[in-house]
Amino acid sequence: MREIRFREAVGEAMSEEMRRDPNVFLMGEEVAEYNGAYKVSKGMLDEFGPDRVIDTPIAELGFAGIGVGAAMNGLRPIVEFMTWNFAILAFDQIVNSAAKILSMSGGQVGCPIVFRGPTGAAGQLAQQHSQTFEAWMANVPGLKVISVSDPYDAKGLLKSAIRDDDPICFFESEVVYSDMGVVPAEEYLIPIGQAKVKREGTDVTIVSYNKMMKVAFAAAEELAKEGISAEVIDLRTIRPLDYKTIVESVKKTNRLVTLEEAWPFGSVSSEIAYEVQKYAFDYLDAPVTRITGADVSLAYTPTIVEAFMPNPAKVIKAVKEVLYVAQR
């Protein structure tokens, strides 16, 4: 199979869906003339023209509202935020309009729209540009939330998201846009709401998503050198969350470590821990342990960034702790 970059996988997904359905269009800051802030939409203006690849003003609330209105009237917009940090300005449209219109209209008006862009830290971008939003959006009934870690999942899930009739928040990462991955040339779709076991294991389950999957894999590799077999699950979809895959894995390994970049309070990990203790309590040989970002805003200083972020060493330490509790 061919290998392409993450940004190319996202661009292919959008282009293929725009060729398939004339109601699909892309809008956002610098998506057209500049080929995208991260070159995700490279070449799309030349192919589809300015009516379907639309540069917007620096006004997230405004162009998100235009997208929502277009979706309510039968189109299928893809709204790109240069970063989800800027999408805070558009939360009124995402939360109060897109997520609620189907319910408020008694099922008469839908909102098939995809809000997409990068989330989380990307080096020294300081406090207002380094936040992680999956748990924020997953807290809102009416929204579906997808967060991808590799090119294969990015393309397959974005195509499914564009075809879906519900509003979807689609999360990428600035630091993986250049990552290479195997992506079939032929069309494929990945169902929304299905996690994937990406590394089989027997001693402990590690659950993660987005770019923290790199940390999970790195930790699993080091643990394997010490004879510890870690099963690694990529959530891929945050809402609806695939509890079944997680629970079945915990029933096999009897231990769970969750890993995410977000702040700990009210996190995705918190939701997973609650569900696992409800459905797999008798299978747990140790308490569920979570690794998250620190419970502070992320400053600019590189030493603070290093201390804030999860890393393989923190995961390895957590795994050994749950193994120790189980064995003593």
**Residue whose C-alpha is closest to residue 32's, from 58, 52, 62:** 52
Prior bond of 240 cis (ω within 30°) = yes
Backbone phi and psi for residue 268, each to the nearest 5 degrees, phi listed first: -60, -40
Q: How many CA atoms lie within 13 A of 285 on its CB side?
A: 19
User: Reduced to 3 DSSP states, what percent helix, strand and coil does the chain have, rounded to the nearest 5?
Assistant: 40, 15, 40
Burial 194-220 (b: 16+ CB within 10 A, else e): ebbebbebebbbbbbbbbbbbbbbebb
Is 134 tagged catalytic?
A: no
* Residue that is written with structure tokens 């629970």 in the block: 247
Query: Which tokens is 208 given?
Result: 């993660």
Collapsing DSSP to helix, strand or coil, 328 comes out as: coil
Q: How many CA atoms lie within 13 A of 298 on its CB side?
A: 26
User: Helical H runs in 53-196?
Assistant: 60-72, 91, 101-104, 134-138, 151-163
- Active-site annotation holder among 30, 129, 248, 275: 129
Is 306 tagged catalytic?
A: no
CA distances from 178 to 7, 173, 174, 287, 327 (A): 7, 10, 9, 37, 42
- Active-site annotation holder among 8, 12, 29, 60: 60
Collapsing DSSP to helix, strand or coil, 110 comes out as: coil
Active site residues: 60, 129
